[in-house]
Amino acid sequence: MLVKLMKHEFHATGRVSLPLCGVMLALSVVAGMALRFYEAIPRAVGWIGTLYGGSVFAVAVGVFAVLMQHFKRNLLGDEGYLMRALPVSIHELLLSKLFVALIWYVAAAALIVLSVFLVGALSGEFRDVSFGDLWDALRQLFSYRDARDWVVLLLGVVGALALVTLLFYADFTLSQSFRKHRLLYHVMAAVIFILLLRLTGSLNALIGRMAERGADVIGGADGPTAIYVTGGMPWLGLAELYVSAAALYVLTWAALKYRPNLE
């Protein structure tokens, strides 16, 4: 049943996400050709480049917005009554949306990279680059890190995407319990999340210094403005990331199951 739910989710979210991606790829072709014939249409190139950049931004932000809006409408809006009548568990409903969201993130990122490649290829920027040069560049990239580093990086990216998605899921779900002052609730949730990140970052920095491994900072200097500190211990950071995501998942599941408040 999970696979059927995912198919339905792809179909529902693809109605907007696929056209956005299609427009971006079409504009990448136009932008690449415009750059190739820049001398003939110098004024138009700027407008075309702006449109292409806007389409990339629309895909990066629009896909996420579509997924979040569909979650809210499908489980917390009028459609929620129909979804709860299906012979499926809350876990299946929630996991189908989470898995589809992660796949959409990867697909959108791949299409953005493809669009950039199309612009470069059609503009003639890659005409002096051979297949051997590309292969050598890829070999250098993968030889720069060992297998463990790539595993940590992959798990970190997946965990971070899941954490952000589940954070919005939990925020939307819990806010339904408040009839009034929902905006205030959203602000309070954001502040609490940032404070928890700072607390975790402080612990990571302390552990990293005790282990003499230093501290890697994300989002600011190693001080009050830092958002997150990994502490130079990637496996500890990954464990915290996935535990946090699991906690948000359980929180969202419990709210959907025991405190449903559909609009």
User: Which residue positions in the chain have pLDDT lower than 70?
Assistant: 39-40, 125-146, 177-186, 188-234, 236-237, 259-263
User: What is the pLDDT, as a whole number, of residue 104?
Assistant: 95
For residue 67, give both structure tokens. 């997924």
Please report where in the chains the tokens 């809350």 appear, as a residue: 90
pTM value is: 0.78
- C-alpha dist (Å) from residue 10 to 7, 107, 171, 259: 5, 12, 23, 27
User: What is the pLDDT, as a whole number, of residue 231?
Assistant: 46
Please, are residues 217 and 199 in contact by the beta-carbon 8 Å criterion?
A: no
Please report where in the chains the tokens 């199951």 appear, as a residue: 257
**Tens digits of per-residue pLDDT, 168-216?**
888 888 777 666 666 666 676 666 666 666 566 555 555 555 554 444 4
- Cα gap 21→58, rounded to integer Å: 9
- C-alpha dist (Å) from residue 48 to 4, 41, 100, 207, 228: 40, 10, 32, 50, 38
- Cα gap 170→136, rounded to integer Å: 45
**Amino acid found at 67:** L
- Cα gap 64→81, rounded to integer Å: 24
User: What is the pLDDT, as a whole number, of residue 112?
Assistant: 94
